[in-house]
């Protein structure tokens, strides 16, 4: 019932507010009325936004894209031609200036706040049965699922205002060349653009209307198109996947995503630790980055003091550094489950924000 059924489920529910009718017509079939509505205000036209129809070198690639994905060439050319290059999107992809200190305290304050906590409590209470079922099916606890949705979109309040086709086309064809990983990132977004076109054509939605983040992420959980194709599930079993308006589908899809990336039920995400950074080999401890590499015994040999629970942990650990601006950094020992959260967003700061927001919401749910 809950497995991914790409060929039979209609993704049109995800795109139900992006109804057919523009030049990029796809299907005469309309979805039934969605259960929840999450709208995104339209962005004002951006200065310098230029339709890709005016870019011959881009339009020359349409035939290959259509053939590779089994899409109608005319439809593909029509959609890509009406996509617009957004200079602001490309600029947002550039990393911060080198040497700029990260600040976990500041980062945390953006996500663990009364607005998100209160919205999270209401979301948890309204969807407690779906959260419990997701934990039973996928092994992912409610606080992690809720933490993700809260950090990503404040439970559907902020799902993005960019046209997804504009964002993905910009990053597929005009990814900033000054980015240190420009070639790899451009290839990633080229694939996401093609995945998006494939989903929209099969689902019968209007690819020119759907809105999302500046990176092309979609819906309450901010799934990229490839993640929709691989991990989205019809958790309410109504015959369609709706990541914009069905909280149940969102809950199941987030939990399925984590299970696919190796979440281990019952294991912690991290342990508190103690050590003096000036007296240990920090280069060796930080060399694996966030990838769990050390056994509890081996990390202790490098000078890190562990509590009893961490010493008894059977898996691998990573030393997670959270810089605090001008203050001394904070450190925790991250587990495989911590690493799994970073597969949603490759940042230890993001993972800790998800964990701590989920914990804060869970605490309020218990106390209310």
pLDDT tens sequence across 306-356: 999 999 999 999 999 999 999 999 999 999 999 999 999 999 999 999 999
In 71-181, alpha helices (H): 73-82, 87-92, 104-111, 114-126, 128-138, 142-153, 164-173
Q: What confidence score (pLDDT) does residue 95 get?
A: 86
Q: What confidence score (pLDDT) does residue 247 get?
A: 98
Triad 112, 225, 230: Cα angle to 5°: 95
Of the listed ranges 14-28, 206-220, 241-255, the one predicted with least confidence: 14-28
Judge whether residue 7 has pLDDT over 80: no
CA-to-CA dists, residue 265 to 108, 135, 229, angstroms: 26, 8, 24
Q: What confidence score (pLDDT) does residue 13 get?
A: 52
CA distance 40 to 111: 20
CA distance 278 to 255: 40
For residue 234, the cross-strand partners are none
Structure token pair of residue 63: 């035939």
Average of pLDDT values for 250-259? 98
Query: Chain-wide mean pLDDT for the chain?
Result: 89
For residue 240, the cross-strand partners are 10
Q: What confidence score (pLDDT) does residue 252 get?
A: 98
Query: Would you place residue 98 in the very low, low, confident or very high pLDDT band (cuts 50, 70, 90)?
Result: confident
Average of pLDDT values for 225-254? 97
In the chain, helix, strand, coil percent, each to 5?
50, 10, 40
Judge whether residue 234 has pLDDT over 90: yes
Q: What confidence score (pLDDT) does residue 45 get?
A: 66
Average of pLDDT values for 262-270? 98
| DSSP code, position 9 | S
CA distance 113 to 108: 9
CA distance 27 to 42: 24
Which of these is catalytic: 152, 192, 194, 321?
152
Average of pLDDT values for 155-163? 97
Q: What confidence score (pLDDT) does residue 203 get?
A: 87
Query: Would you place residue 35 in the very low, low, confident or very high pLDDT band (cuts 50, 70, 90)?
Result: very low
Q: What confidence score (pLDDT) does residue 319 get?
A: 97
| DSSP code, position 279 | G
Q: What confidence score (pLDDT) does residue 5 get?
A: 43
CA distance 295 to 298: 5
Percent of the chain with pLDDT over 90: 84
Give the domains, in start order, of the chain with CATH numbers. Answer: 11-95+156-260 (1.10.8.350), 270-334 (no CATH)
Query: Would you place residue 42 in the very low, low, confident or very high pLDDT band (cuts 50, 70, 90)?
Result: low
CA distance 16 to 116: 26
Question: Residue 361's Cα: distance from chain center in Å?
Answer: 20
Of the listed ranges 18-22, 296-300, 342-346, 349-353, the one predicted with least confidence: 18-22
Q: What confidence score (pLDDT) does residue 37 get?
A: 41
More confident residue, 363 or 32: 363
CA distance 308 to 220: 38
Query: Would you place residue 101 in the very low, low, confident or very high pLDDT band (cuts 50, 70, 90)?
Result: confident
Judge whether residue 33 has pLDDT over 60: no
| DSSP code, position 18 | S
CB 71 within 8 A of CB 201: yes
Average of pLDDT values for 263-277? 96
Judge whether residue 133 has pLDDT over 90: yes
Q: What is the DSSP string of 90-109?
A: HHHTSPPPTTPPPBHHHHHH
For residue 216, the cross-strand partners are none
CA distance 83 to 97: 30
152 assigned to active site:
yes
Q: Dmax over Cα atoms in the chain, in whole Å?
A: 68
Average of pLDDT values for 60-88? 96
Q: What confidence score (pLDDT) does residue 344 get?
A: 97
Say which residue the tokens 């934990």 belong to.
135
Residue count (the chain): 368
Hey, CA dihedral for 82, 87, 88, 94, is it positive or negative? positive
Average of pLDDT values for 84-107? 91
Q: What is the DSSP string of 174-188?
A: ---TTSTTHHHHHHH
Q: What confidence score (pLDDT) does residue 254 get?
A: 98
Q: What confidence score (pLDDT) does residue 17 get?
A: 39
For residue 324, the cross-strand partners are 103, 327
Q: DSSP E strands: which ranges in 276-317?
A: 305-306
pLDDT tens sequence across 171-208: 999 999 999 999 999 999 999 999 999 999 998 889 99
Judge whether residue 6 has pLDDT over 90: no
CB 200 within 8 A of CB 207: yes
Question: Residue 167's Cα: distance from chain center in Å?
Answer: 15
Question: Residue 124's Cα: distance from chain center in Å?
Answer: 20
């Amino acid at each position: 019932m809950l497995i991914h059924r790409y060929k039979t489920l209609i993704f049109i529910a995800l795109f139900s507010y992006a109804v057919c009718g523009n030049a990029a017509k796809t299907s005469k079939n309309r979805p039934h009325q969605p259960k929840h509505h999450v709208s995104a205000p339209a962005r004002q036209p951006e200065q310098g936004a230029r339709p890709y129809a005016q870019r011959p070198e881009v339009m020359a690639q349409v035939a290959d894209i259509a053939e590779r994905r089994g899409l109608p060439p005319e439809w593909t050319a029509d959609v890509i031609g009406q996509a617009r290059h957004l200079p602001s999107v490309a600029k947002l992809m550039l990393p911060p200036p080198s040497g700029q200190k990260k600040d976990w305290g500041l980062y945390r304050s953006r996500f663990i706040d009364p607005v998100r906590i209160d919205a999270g409590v209401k979301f948890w209470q309204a969807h407690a049965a779906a959260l419990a079922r997701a934990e039973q099916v996928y092994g992912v606890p409610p606080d992690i699922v809720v933490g993700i949705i809260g950090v990503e979109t404040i439970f559907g309040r902020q799902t993005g205002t960019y046209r997804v086709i504009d964002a993905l086309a910009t990053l597929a064809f005009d990814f900033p060349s000054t980015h240190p990983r420009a070639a790899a990132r451009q290839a990633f977004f080229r694939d996401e653009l093609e995945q998006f076109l494939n989903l929209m054509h099969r689902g019968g939605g209007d690819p020119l209307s759907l809105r999302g983040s500046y990176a092309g992420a979609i819906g309450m959980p901010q799934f990229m198109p490839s993640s929709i194709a691989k991990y989205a599930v019809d958790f309410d079993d109504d015959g369609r996947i709706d990541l914009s308006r069905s909280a149940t589908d969102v809950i199941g899809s987030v939990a399925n995503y984590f299970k696919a990336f190796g979440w281990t039920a019952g294991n912690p995400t991290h342990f508190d630790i103690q050590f003096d950074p000036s007296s240990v080999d920090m280069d060796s401890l930080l060399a694996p980055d966030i990838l769990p590499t050390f056994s509890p015994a081996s990390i202790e040999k490098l000078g890190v003091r562990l509590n009893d629970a961490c010493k008894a942990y059977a898996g691998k650990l990573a030393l997670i550094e959270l810089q605090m601006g001008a203050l001394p950094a904070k450190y925790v020992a991250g587990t495989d489950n911590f690493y799994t959260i970073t597969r949603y967003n490759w940042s230890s700061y993001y993972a800790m924000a998800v964990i701590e927001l989920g914990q804060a919401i869970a605490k309020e749910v218990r106390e209310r």
